[in-house]
Chain A
């Protein structure tokens, strides 16, 4: 389970990024991100935000996680979408395939209704790509990383870790 059982290959990455770009343009949003539900950024398109995207991703995942627990408490299976509305900037988050979070950042140039509509469509398209990704991973089994990263990956990483993390 903890082995590298979640990997994105080039062609799927481009398919996903293309969907994000289409969504960004059609929803007239500022930027769109795809984040793994454990808080790791997969892809981002649009205006580069002036905040730390890595931290943003971990907080977005935590946000979703906390809301999923709240959903269970009130008797819902989950809250599949979340909206945070600000004075100028807002964000729309939606969980896809119970694995990735689609985040749309938008301002007053567009409307929540349009974002919601376009994000729903993009979510359906992403689901198709993600299912393809999961199928591939399933066929290649959990040792996918071991076979593609190479046996000496860990050895090389060790020396990097030693030189970087020292008192």
Chain B
């Protein structure tokens, strides 16, 4: 849920990057961090294991600037993708305004995507949120790899409700900003 402070004239929104382990959620944030102007971004926090796997979350605050007199900020979070960190995932979803679901396009990870998506719906409903009401953008990542599922097949299994999607190669930055921009716009539409 966004927080609108009429006194300090600030709006803060929370976008969560969800998806199976090693699908590229952290890579998305790292690319955003490396490309946005310094005065736009805050400090990126990564609570990761020694092996660089996300343990609790990554956090990146972005400042959009003044919109109609309101300083508008987006707080980007990633969840830990590994199955056994569900308690952490559930916590991060608390108060979410918009979700980017990062799917791993590789054939071997097809089942992991479905599992993660089902898990996301379960966790949202535990917070009393319906996935239809939370703005969602799907990102089909790792499109450059050789053994990937076709986009129509991914769409059929992962996106039956027709949420907007982008193809991406997060490691090179392809599709990263398209995904973020749309997620931000969808969230702000729920406000204004």
**A interacts with B:** yes
Given A2-B129, A158-B188, A165-B180, is A42 in contact with B3 using a C-beta cutoff of 8 Å? Answer: yes
Interface residues of B in 163-179 (CB under 8 A from A): 173, 176-177
Q: 1/0 per residue A155-167: CB within 8 Å of B?
A: 1111011101111
Q: Are A153 and B61 in contact (CB under 8 A)?
A: no
Residues of B within 8 A of A65 (CB): 91, 94
* Residue A28 lies at the interface, judged by CB distance under 8 Å to chain B: no
Interface residues of B in 125-153 (CB under 8 A from A): 128-130, 133-135
Q: Are B185 and A36 in contact (CB under 8 A)?
A: no
* Residue A66 lies at the interface, judged by CB distance under 8 Å to chain B: yes
Q: Are B67 and A160 in contact (CB under 8 A)?
A: yes
Please indicate which of the listed interface residues A43, A55, A146, A150 has the most CB atoms of chain B within 10 Å of its own CB. A55
Q: Are B181 and A161 in contact (CB under 8 A)?
A: yes
Residues of B bordering A, CB below 8 Å: 1-8, 11-12, 14, 32, 35-37, 40, 42-43, 45, 47, 56-57, 59, 61, 64-65, 67-68, 70, 72-73, 75, 77, 87-88, 91-92, 94-97, 128-130, 133-135, 173, 176-177, 180-181, 184-185, 188-192
* Residue A22 lies at the interface, judged by CB distance under 8 Å to chain B: no
Given A146-B192, A153-B68, A164-B65, is A6 in contact with B133 using a C-beta cutoff of 8 Å? Answer: no
Residues of A within 8 A of B70 (CB): 149
> What are 16 contact pairs spanning A and B, CB under 8 A?
A3-B191, A6-B2, A9-B7, A13-B7, A13-B8, A38-B3, A38-B95, A42-B3, A54-B61, A55-B45, A62-B56, A66-B56, A148-B6, A149-B70, A158-B185, A166-B177
Residues of A within 8 A of B189 (CB): 154
Please indicate which of the listed interface residues A3, A146, A148, A153 has the most CB atoms of chain B within 10 Å of its own CB. A153
Q: Are B96 and A2 in contact (CB under 8 A)?
A: yes
Q: Are A167 and B6 in contact (CB under 8 A)?
A: no
Residues of A within 8 A of B61 (CB): 54-55, 58
Report how many residues on chain A are interfacial, defined by Cβ distance under 8 Å: 49
Q: Are A164 and B3 in contact (CB under 8 A)?
A: no
Q: In the assembled complex, how far is the CB of residue B98 from the closest CB belonging to chain A, in whole angstroms?
A: 8
Residues of B within 8 A of A1 (CB): 1, 128-130, 133
Q: In the assembled complex, how far is the CB of residue A36 from the closest CB belonging to chain B, in whole angstroms?
A: 5
* Residue A88 lies at the interface, judged by CB distance under 8 Å to chain B: no
Q: Are A39 and B75 in contact (CB under 8 A)?
A: yes
* Residue A59 lies at the interface, judged by CB distance under 8 Å to chain B: yes
Bound together, the chains give a CA A111 to CA B154 distance in angstroms of 58
Residues of A within 8 A of B57 (CB): 62
Please indicate which of the listed interface residues A37, A58, A145, A151 has the most CB atoms of chain B within 10 Å of its own CB. A58
Q: In the assembled complex, how far is the CB of residue A76 from the closest CB belonging to chain B, in whole angstroms?
A: 16
Q: Are B42 and A4 in contact (CB under 8 A)?
A: no
* Residue A69 lies at the interface, judged by CB distance under 8 Å to chain B: yes
Please indicate which of the listed interface residues A41, A155, A165 has the most CB atoms of chain B within 10 Å of its own CB. A165
* Residue A112 lies at the interface, judged by CB distance under 8 Å to chain B: no
Q: Are B185 and A58 in contact (CB under 8 A)?
A: no
Q: Which A-B residue pairs are the 10 nearest by beta carbons?
A: A38-B95, A153-B192, A13-B7, A7-B4, A65-B91, A154-B192, A40-B12, A10-B7, A157-B188, A52-B43
